Amino acid sequence: MLLDILDITVPVLLILGLGSALYVLKIHFDSKTIGILIIKIATPCLTFTTLVKTDFTLSELSQSGLAALLVMGLVAAFSFSFIRLQGDRLGPYMSCLLHPNSGNLPLPLCLLAFGEAGLALAFPYFVVISVSQNTFGYAMIAGKLNWKELFFHPIVISVSAALVVKISDLPIPEMILITTSYLGYTAIPLPLLLLGYALPQISAGNLKKGIIYAFARLLFGSLSGLCAIYTLGLSGMIAGVVMIMACMPVALLNFIIAVERDVEPETIGGMVIISSLTMITLIPVLVWLVLWAFPV
């Protein structure tokens, strides 16, 4: 069991470490360009290819998306009173607790823990979080909602295309699937490199508040994940995937938006780095618990 866990977690940690090493060694890594490639090309291609090729039915895949909505609702319920008690601004801090890292860290973990099937089940969850974060999450921090981003988000387009193919049983030329597969493969290592490269650059800011909110994200996420699993009657692989996705740290995108809009960037940066580092150290424990509690 220990060797299996190491086989899953060590590659993730090594790639994260390589990303941090690039920054320490002052090797140029164009984060903005890489981020655009991940969001607009690599991840949509991986999403399309995985959903088209998976043997799961739409009903099975929808359970993951429904779980994401339920987890978000529960986290919001937990977070509302907590943020009010802390005396902080509701919008920015709610976005940080509501929108965890749903791509860089959990997708590789789901792939390594459960294979291609686990990755396929993780995508509906990822889509819900990603679309919410890029629309409502942006509005929570910036105070402005862009509806165009909701309907024309690359992830929404790729999922819609995959659904059309699945429902209509439309044949896809092999050359198209090979192309999207090649592009999609880059969506696993590149986000990990990007996260590793970004971590040394984020100031911890308000350390005390960063620690409080980082652990609140882990606590609310894990409790909400368990509630969603038992409410929906999930078990096995899908339960494990939901638990991994629910426990993830504060997403880096919250910090990027906070910097852009000058909304407490130091404190939000502290949340990101503390919660990310905490989860990185807990990855072996999380994987062990998931594989033990939800055996396939």
How confident is the model over 32-48, as a mean pLDDT? 82
- For the chain, the residue count is 296
What would the pLDDT profile of 236-249 be if each residue is shown by its tens digit?
Answer: 999 999 999 999 99
Residue 248's pLDDT is what? 95
Residue 149's pLDDT is what? 66
Q: Distances from the Cα of 142 to the Cαs of 134, 259, 266, in angstroms?
A: 11, 10, 16
Yes or no: domain 2-293 corresponds to CATH 1.20.1530.20 = yes
In this predicted structure, the answer to whether residue 1 has a pLDDT above a threshold of 70 is no
What would the pLDDT profile of 260-286 be if each residue is shown by its tens digit?
Answer: 677 887 788 788 888 888 888 898 899
Residue 280 CA to residue 195 CA, distance in Å, equals 11
Residue 206's pLDDT is what? 65
Residue 108's pLDDT is what? 83
Instruction: Return mean pLDDT, the chain.
Output: 86
How confident is the model over 62-70, as a mean pLDDT? 95
Q: Is 148 exposed, middle or buried (0-12, 13-18, 19+ CB in 10 A)?
A: exposed
In this predicted structure, the answer to whether residue 113 has a pLDDT above a threshold of 70 is yes
Whole-number percent of the chain with pLDDT over 70 = 94
Residue 150's pLDDT is what? 65
Residue 88 falls in which region: left (phi positive, over 0), alpha (psi -120 to 50) or beta: beta
How confident is the model over 152-162, as a mean pLDDT? 83
Residue 231's pLDDT is what? 97
Residue 50 CA to residue 10 CA, distance in Å, equals 24
**Could you tell me how far CA 247 lies from the centroid of its own chain?**
10
Which of the four pLDDT bands, split at 50, 70 and 90, describes residue 12? Answer: confident
How confident is the model over 15-28, as a mean pLDDT? 89
In this predicted structure, the answer to whether residue 67 has a pLDDT above a threshold of 80 is yes
pTM reported for the whole predicted model: 0.81
Residue 153 CA to residue 148 CA, distance in Å, equals 8
**140: which 2 tokens?**
């929570």
Least confident of 111-120, 142-151, 246-255: 142-151
- Percent of the chain that is helix, strand, coil (3-state, to 5): 80, 0, 20
Which sequence spans correspond to the domains of the chain? 2-293
